[in-house]
Each structure stands twice: as C-alpha cells, then as structure tokens.
Amino acid sequence: MVAREVLKSMLFGGRSATRRLGRYRLVRVLGEGGMGVVFHGHDEELSRSVALKVLHDHHAAGSSGRARLLREARAMAQLSHPNVVQVYEVGTVDDQAFVAMELVEGRDLDRWRAESRRSWRECVHAYLQAGQGLAAAHAAGLVHRDFKPSNCIIDDEQRVRVLDFGLVRERALDETEMMSESLLGSVEALDSAHDATLTRTGAVLGTLAYMPPEQMQGREADARSDQFSFCVSLYEAAYGLRPYAGRTRAALLASMAEGRIEAPPRGARAPARLRRILARGLAAEPEQRWPSMDALLDALRSLVTPRRGRWIAASMAVVGAGLGIQALRPHPEPCTGARARLDGVWDDARRRAVEEAVLDTALPYAPGTWERVEPWLDDYADAWVRKHTEVCEATAVHHEQSEEALGLRMACLDRRRVALRATVEVLAHADAMAVEHAVALATGLPGLTRCDDLDWLVQHDQRMPPPEDPAVAQQVEELRERLAAISATIDAGQYARALQDVEPVVRRAEGLGYDPLLAEAVYWQGRALDENGRYPDAERALEQAHALALRSGHDDAVLHATQALTSLVGYQLARHAEGLVWGKAALPLAERTGDDAELGVSWNNLGSVHRDRGDYEQARDHHQRALQAFERAQGEEHPRVAGVWNNLGNVLMRLGEYEQAEHHYEQALRIWEQALDPEHPDVAIASRSLGNALLRQGRLDQAEPYYRRALRIVEASLGPEHPDVAMPLE
C-alpha cells in the first residue's frame, strides 16, 4: 500500500503515516509510471538525497512485477559509469519493493533541446555521452531496450546520464520472459498514435517512434536495438525531425523496411556525413548496423574532432624533434609583439584623433559618446592583444598546437584587426552621423571567440581556399580591407560615401574571378544601395550576392545576404510573404554559426516583417526571441538590446496592451540613456514612444514631459527646422 497511499497523500493533502520507507524519508513525488512511483527520498543513515523507485501495490503483490523491478535494479547495479545513473540499493520493506538510485537534478534531453536552439555539434556532444553510457551497459552484457531522449538527463554541468533502465534485460535471459502473447495486439492498439507509449504489462514498452523494427515485431532485441533507438534520438536532435515517418505502426514499419529516411530540412547545418553515420545505425536489419555502440561513437567523434587531434600530434612530433637544438642556443622571448601589431590601429595617436573628431562636432551628446566609445575600443584592443599572445604561445611556448592551426587562428585575428582599424578610421574623421552611430560601431566589432573555433576555421579554409596565385591572393586581401572600411562607413550612417566607394571594389573583384570576394563586394554594394533608398537595385545586388555566396561555399555571406533580403523585401518593399521566406531561411543559417547575435538579427528581422504585415502575435514572439538571443550574446545592457525592447513596445501598442508597452519603452529608455548618452537621438525615440504609451492610457500629464524631452533632444541635435522635429509634436 505504500506507493499509492503516499502518492495520494502527497498529491491531495492529508496526513500519512507511511511517508517513510525503511531508513528513507519520502520528500516529494518526482514521477509515476506504469510500474511504480519515483520519489525524492532522503537516506537518513548516509545523509544523502536519493531517487526511490517504489513498485505499485498491484505489482508488488505479484511475482512478475517484483521480479521485473528487481531484475532492472540488479542490472543497473552492475554498472558504475559517469554516464549512467548509479543504483545504490535494492530491497523490500513490509513486502514493498524499492530501488534507491542516484538523484540527478537536471532536465531530459527532450527539454534540453527544446529550451534553446541547439547546434548539431552540441547535440552530437550530448549524445556521445549518452552513447558512452549505453556502451558501458552493453559491455556488461545488458540491453536498455527503451532508449529515448526522455530517458537521458543532463545536469547543470552538461553531464549526461542514461536512466530508467525499465526495460533492461540480461542478454542471456529467455526473450519470452519479457514478451507475452498480447504483444502484437497491444502494438496494433497504437496504430492511431504514432507517438504513444504503451504501459500495459506484457506489452512492448517504450515509445514506438524510437523502437527498432525487430522490437515492434516481437523479435529478439540486443545491443544493436539500442543503437537504432540512439540514432533515432540523435537524428531528431540534430535535424528537428524523426528519421522515419508514419502515423501507424504499419506505415512506420514500411518506412523502416524500405529505408525511407526523411531528408534533413533545407539549410540544415549538419554535414552530410552525420546523416550517413546515423543512416547505418537506422538500418532495418540489425546485421546492417554498426558492429557495436563503440564503433558508432568512434564515427561520431571523428565528426566533431576532424583534424585537430592529428595536428596537435604532428606538431608535438615536430617540436619534440627540435628540442635538442633549441636547448643549445638562447633565443628571444616569443610572442611579445602583439601590442606592436596595433600601432597605427589603436594607439595614443589614434585615440587623440578620434577624441578630437568626435568633440569637434559640438553635438550635445559628443562628450558622453567619447566617454563611452574610448573604453569599448580600449577593451577590444586589450582583448585582441591577449588573444594574439595566447594563440602564439599555444604553438611557440606550450607546443600544443600545430603551425597550420596557428596560421588559421592568426588569420582570423588579422581580420579582426582590420575591422578595428576601419572603425577607428571612420571615427577619426567623424561627422555628426558617425558620432550618432559611434557607440554602435564600437560595440559591434566582430567577436574574438570565433578565432578559437578551429573546426569552423578549418571548414572555412577548406570551402574557400585562397587563390593559388600569390599576386591574386594579395589583391584579394587588399580589397577585403577596403570592404571592411565600407562596412564601417555604412554602419556610421555615411551611405552616399559607401556607395561611391564600393562600386570600384566590385569592378576589381569581378576582374579577379574569385567568387567569395565578389560575393562580399556585391553584398556591400546591395547594402549601400538599400541604405540610399535604391531598393530595386539593392534587391538585384543582394540576390546576386546570395547566389555567388552559395556557389562558392561562403556561408557567412549567404547568411548576411539572406538577412538583408528579409529586411529589404519584407519590410522596405512590403512584400511580406517573400520577406518571410527569406527570414525563415536565415534562421537555420544563423543557428549554424553558433553566434547568438546573428540569431538575434534574424529573429528581429522576422518580427519586423510580421509587425508590418499586421501579424502582431507572431511579431511579439519573434522580437522576444531576438531579445533573448541578443541578451545571451551581448548582455542585458547592450544598446542593441534596447532597440528590441523598443520594437516589442511598438508591437504591444498595436495590440492595445499600453501598460505593457510602457514597461518595454522604459527598458529601452533606461538602456539607451546609460549606453549612449541622455542627449542621444535614440533617447528621443524611446522618450516619445513612452509618451505615446502614457497618452493611450489617458495619462496626459505624465506623457507631456516625455514629449517635451524628445522635442528638446531632436532640436538640439538636428536643429529646429529638421523634419524629425515634427515627430514629438504629432
């Protein structure tokens, strides 16, 4: 009676004398299944928390239920592995069978995947851990028989454990002990539910979608059956859909028998080799699958560590061979020249030039802008120096990185240095528009963490190797430096100059015949045309850039062209349906970069198109996703985050949720005041919006100061005759 009585007491209240089980105090119910109840318990002898699985009363009285639970526990107790939940004790108290297990705080892999857009690499890394747990079980002669994402738990330290070996059996046991004659009838009962779970004793247990065909058909299940379930789970995690389609058992079995594996969605980042690896594990016949779980895991590991290990080993061999010679002669301290690489990029002279240019504009917010821009640029330069030194020392001092890896990482850092130089150059010749955008320029410099991602750098280099002709390669780098300057010019709001500068770069790039560069040049041409209001020309250029980038394997340019077309087509040209197609295509591309800032841009663009179309609930959802992505990438106080708060406020105004809109505008105003300057024009935008929200609530007296503030800021920045002065007066 223990399980039912305590469960009833805990769920519906009332006192119970049975909130104990031997030395275990039952704290709360964690879950209930067909066989029993799982409690959070406390072992009062050993003073530790445990998970207690207690057999339901109607099973406890029968020998088969008790035998099944105890067999599960004995099987699990044989395992001691970091990726398997540990069994502490198996026993009975007053004829009540129980198992005491390790209590793991976390969420299952289904919830883990749903709570954030996981990259295929994250999914493979998580399932590699789960697979190691399965491999350990197989080595002990055990089969799980019910592997699925909900039977794997990941804790806050990102450690994955396999749990609920509720169907585990020793391979030597007679299969009929686990299968009754009701098998096929029970499975047929699932024909209308592709994803249902059987719970009747004597039936096939587990979720049909993850079950191998031999298990559905009542044939013997072995370690290769777990392999099939594992591959279904990882396929679903990596691609967002299950490999076999079928709404009935018969349809599902037919798909499996014919090997009709669902194609990955368009734009899926995962390499084709991952699909081939999983397809072997998904074969209908066990003999055609991987020979073991270990073999499958080895193949998966080769995907996420393709070459780095070999490079390190090779570099260690080379370094080791030269140690004797190096030890005989002194040499200068390596890796000390990073700061000198920033001479003329960001040094005292460039700092003074930027300060003078910003302050010479005499804008009311210029002093505050300089106070904010200087530390941003200082911090970026310092971080670049530290990273440059670290990358150098990994090869020259610690001997843990090959020369090839060093070259790729240094090239990445050089691109960041070029971006810094371009930003500083624009600010050193700043006009009023550049000062208005100065904080965005400084805070929008490309991150340095990408230069740590050796796998991405390798793939980037393999897809887009530099031209073989050294003279052409040098011209490519020169033109890329000019494109970096054009990028900074556009970000500074100097659109006419950017268009003038980009056209000769496009012509030169066309003459070189190197498509990755041409894709970049035409992209920036499209952006400049867009910002100058030449929308049809911009659309043609961006579509050309998109095609060139696809053809040349330039993933970053594909993403950026797709994002730009989302905004241009869906918002500026108001062709909403087409814009949404571009916007949805951008999402998986952004996810594949692993850069939350790119994901934020993509969600924000989609939200703007939906808002312009009048789909306000969709717009709210997409802007909220953008907000979360930007906060993850850049922190809650970043000026980009304020822009999304403002966008959300605009959506809420359209929905008539004026009080909520007020809160969102207050957030935007607070962040912009701190990140920019209280007199910055963006502060006027938030101030006017906040006034609108208050006015809609009938709070005119409270709205008026915000309107007056917006008017004062705009007049001071733009002059009393500027058209934007009329906005706070509407």
Phi-psi region of 362 (alpha: psi -120 to 50; beta: other; left: phi over 0): left
Enter the DSSP assignment of 267.
T
CB 681 within 8 A of CB 653: no
**In the structure encoding, which two tokens stand for residue 226, read together?**
């777990």
**Nearest partner of 376 among 76, 65, 676, judged by Cα:** 676
Amino acid identity, position 594: G
CB 346 within 8 A of CB 384: no
- Catalytic residue chosen out of the listed positions 43, 108, 146, 164: 146
CB 60 within 8 A of CB 79: no
What's the full length of the chain, in residues? 730
Separation between Cα atoms, residue 722 and residue 307, nearest integer Å: 59
Amino acid identity, position 384: W
What 3-state class would DSSP assign to 400?
A: coil
φ, ψ for residue 221, nearest 5 deg: -105, 135
Catalytic residue status for 146: yes
**In the structure encoding, which two tokens stand for residue 276, read together?**
């081939």
CB 586 within 8 A of CB 594: no
Measured over the CA atoms of residue 608, residue 614, residue 620 and residue 622, the dihedral's sign is negative
Place of tokens 């599902």: 252
Place of tokens 């080379």: 318
Separation between Cα atoms, residue 560 and residue 506, nearest integer Å: 17
Separation between Cα atoms, residue 148 and residue 146, nearest integer Å: 6
Enter the DSSP assignment of 572.
I
Separation between Cα atoms, residue 586 and residue 605, nearest integer Å: 10
Q: Count Cβ atoms within 10 A of the Cβ of residue 105 and give its class: 0-12 exposed, 13-18 middle, 19 or more buried.
A: exposed
Residues serving a catalytic function are 146
